[in-house]
With several copies, the nearest count.
Chain A
Amino acid sequence: MNRAGSVDFSLWGAFRCIVARDLTLAMRRRADVLTTLFFFVIVVSLFPLGIGPEMATLRIMAPGVVWVAALLASMLSLERMFSADYRDGTLEQMLLTPQPLPVLVLGKVFAHWLVSGLPLVLIAPLLGVQYDLPPEGLLILAVSLLVGTPVLSLIGAIGAGLTLGVRGGGVLVSLLVLPLYIPVLIFGAGGVDAAMSGLGAQAHLSLLGAFLLGALILAPWAAGAALRISME
């Protein structure tokens, strides 16, 4: 049991407390976790139905389709990041705790990624096989998602914070964040393409890494500011 007194409750403690809370919540409604995943799988599987079954076409499309589906799945789950907390008043309470807001936000984003980003990374290679991707493509697909999806969660947190309590928030958030997701999409899907055509995905992946670093530093502040504004 965490027996932290009022004095030595550190930043790390606050972070852990939020992550633990959100993971517990996610476990209580396990359906949520699975549905993001299923959404991803279904969207990826819809395309062959809409487009036709030729493997050659499908192989060209595969990285793009998987990445777009990941974008959409991650975006859909954004709505959950703050809005439940907003509606039942726990967010209000969170803003009034003596902990620095960016740390709390980072905790929430991390928990969100564990629940909605990580499963996508794990299942993506399987979907890639459906589209007949070669092994090196599958590897780079998974790696690019591993580096890219946290960026999506981080950028998404800003959008989710801004649209809190706004009517039609669910769709509005997509409007705000999808354009910002585009570089991640381009380098994510581009990396897989490059790997498949034998050019090497080094450059793409490093750029994705740079995005991740930048987002880690800036997004928690921006999202924190967004939350404060939304609560006014």
Chain B
Amino acid sequence: MLEVSNLECVRGDRRLFAGMNFSVQPGELLHVHGPNGSGKTSLLRMLCGLAAPAEGEIRWNGESIRSLREDYCKEMTYFGHLAGIKEELTALENLRVAVQLAGGDSAEDGLLDALDRMGLAGREDLPAKVLSQGQKRRVALARLLLCPTRLWILDEPFTALDVTAVKMVQQLLSEHLHNGGMVVLTTHQEVDIPAGTVRRIHLN
């Protein structure tokens, strides 16, 4: 369970938000929304431990994520504005490295299967640099299918995806919630998740 208490974020001269409290329980999706520049990305980077909060604490199952560090990473997957795809590696190799380092199961069949589900069948052996904007994001998202982590932190996962792919990802999120996973998400599009509890935080 992810708990946030009294969180404050300061960027440059500006205090983006302060005194933020919330928690995410298994089976819950937290949709952080707000206009451009309201601090969504900043919040998510704190939640996954990349940035340090100005004030307040973030706890995972009761312990501060700063002290857990690698143990927290074992249970969390972050997907940011940057897709984390190496242009020279093929789609398959990209996925394999990501899964291996995350400690997931990197059997060849599973990888191919995941790419297939993301609509990349036949592109597995193309270097990522020749893939289109949306295809690259799909490769990155395929990781979600293979990492057995409980908390997903996704920063605008729908960017550059076409309608089919957006549906696919929403379906995936439902499944994850259904299995007791947790999701923190930002997006400017509408989220339509059939299963699980959806909660919202509005930043301004």
A–B contact (CB under 8 angstroms): yes
* Segment from B24-32, B66-74, B160-168, B187-195 that makes contact with A: B66-74
Q: Is A50 on the interface with B (CB-CB < 8 A)? A: no
Q: Give the residue of A2, A84, A88, A98 whose beta carbon is less than 8 angstroms from that of B106.
A: A2
CB neighbours of B98 from chain A (8 A): 93
The verdict on B88 contacting chain A, using a C-beta distance below 8 Å, is: yes
* Interchain CB contact under 8 A, A97 and B73: yes
- B103→A6 contact, CB < 8 A: yes
Cβ–Cβ contact B106 & A3, under 8 A: yes
- Please, what's the 1-or-0 string for B96-108, where 1 marks a CB less than 8 Å from any CB in chain A? 0110111111111
Q: How large is the interface on B (under 10, 10 to 19, 20 to 34, 35 or more residues)?
A: 35 or more
Does the CB pair B83–A89 fall under 8 Å?
Answer: yes
Determine which of B86, B102, B103, B127 lies in contact with A88 in the assembled complex, contact meaning CB atoms within 8 Å.
Answer: B86
CB distance B50 to A95 under 8 Å?
yes
Residue in A9, A90, A100 whose beta carbon sits within 8 Å of that of B100 in the complex: A9
Contact B50 A231 (CB under 8 A): yes
Pick the contact of A99: B78, B80, B85, B101 (CB < 8 A): B101
Chain A residues in 8 Å Cβ range of B107: 1, 3
What residue of chain A has the Cβ atom nearest to residue B136's Cβ? A88
Interface: A80 (CB within 8 A):
no
- Across chains A and B, which 10 residue pairs bring their CB atoms closest together, nearest first? A89-B82, A89-B84, A28-B88, A98-B74, A97-B101, A93-B84, A98-B73, A6-B103, A90-B84, A17-B100
Chain B interface residues toward A at CB < 8 A: 48-52, 70-71, 73-74, 76-78, 80-89, 93, 97-98, 100-108, 127, 148
